Structure formats: C-alpha cells, structure tokens
Structure 1
Amino acid sequence: MMAIKATVRRNGDMAQEPRKKSRRISISNKRQITVPKEYYDYLEMETEANIELEGNKIVITPVRETNDDFLEFILKDLIDEGYGGEDLLQEFNRRKNNIRPAVEAWMKDAHENAENVESVSDLFEEDE
C-alpha cells in the first residue's frame, strides 16, 4: 500500500497535519496513479509534485515554488551593479525569468552525469 503524507504551508504558516487517511488506488499499465480529488484539493496541488521513496513508502508532496531567496540575491546584485529605476526593474525581471531554465539545465546535466557513475566511490575519485 502507498501512503500519501504531506505537511502543507498555507500563507507561510504550517498547517495542521490531518488525521491519517488511507485510500486504495489503482496503478495503470503505464505505472501512473491518480491523486484522489479530496487529497489534491486539500494539499492545494497544482501541476507538479515531488515524489520520494521512504523505506517501503512513496511520499508525494506538492511543489511549492519559492524563489524568495534567489530574488533577494538578484536584487542585491543588481543594486551593487548600479542598476536603478526602470533599468533595475527590467534587468530584475530578465534575471528572475532565467532562474527556472538555469535550474532545469543544471538538473539535466546532473542526471546525465549520474548515469555515468557506476558506484558511489566514483564520485569521490581525484581527477588525474
């Protein structure tokens, strides 16, 4: 049986975790599952979810996009670089919009490199 467990942030506050709920769901021949509407709505899910393997459980959690840390660093860099006024706003939006593609490219590269690793010790070998 799979368990769905989540702690949800709503408006910056930690939501009370609901009493444990369990429901049997089917898995398609393409290994797809459907999140029950009640769970989907309660967790305020959107178009993506994170999935983790925890022992013998699969844990699915909603993706919460938060670029606040990145945005603060971007703004500080722009101010340090002398941007101001309308130029600051335009450059901030340009850099902000590049965060997701940059992270996706980094993740793709990491996955491709991981495919070439045969063992964990390979990760720590010195380059010759």
Structure 2
Amino acid sequence: MAQEPRKKSRRIAISDKRQITVPKEYYDYLEMESEANIELDGNKIVITPVRETNDDFSEFILKDLIDEGYGGDELLQEFNRRKNNIRPAVEAWIKEARENAEEVKSVSNLFEEDE
C-alpha cells in the first residue's frame, strides 16, 4: 500500500442474516481479496484482509505462545491475532527503512561525522 494509513468511520447496514458489505473505498484501499479475518477486540469488531505470504512464522509464534502458557481456545485466538500483526509490522519496517534511505544521499554520507 502506497498510501498513508488513515482513520475513517462509516455507518453500514447489517442484514437480517448478519451480513455486512465492506464499502468499496475501504475494500480497494486495503487491497482486499476473497477472504478477511475478523477479530473481537473488547467492544469492537476488527476486520483485516487475509494476506498470503511465503514467510510463515507459525512455528515461532506457537512456540512463544506455549512458552507463555497459552492453551485451548485462548491459544488459537492469540495465535491468529499475532499472525495477523506480522504483515503490518513488516510494512512499518519497510516504510521506516525507505524513509531512512531517503535521508542518505550517498554512501559517503554514512561516514561523515556530525558537526
């Protein structure tokens, strides 16, 4: 996503079958496809696009969760929450790296001492 994240709200209808429609603007902005993750966070429902990646940290996440004492349904919920946070974290790191790279105009600038 090239655009900056933004906070925006909109009122939507819920059908008799408990279905909602994601507004096209949101759908396009998030580059959603055919699936989304839904999470209950206190009194909020958070819907995030499913991102298929080649990098799977599942084993590392599960090991950490087990070491932290998670089990049963709580383990599954926390696993899904953490796994869904991987992509936003990586995107933030990439953005930060690009911003830092723009500050360095040449390799020689890396070795200049501040005055």
Q: TM-score, normalised by structure 2?
A: 0.49
Relative contact order, CA 8 A, sep 6+: which one is greater? 1
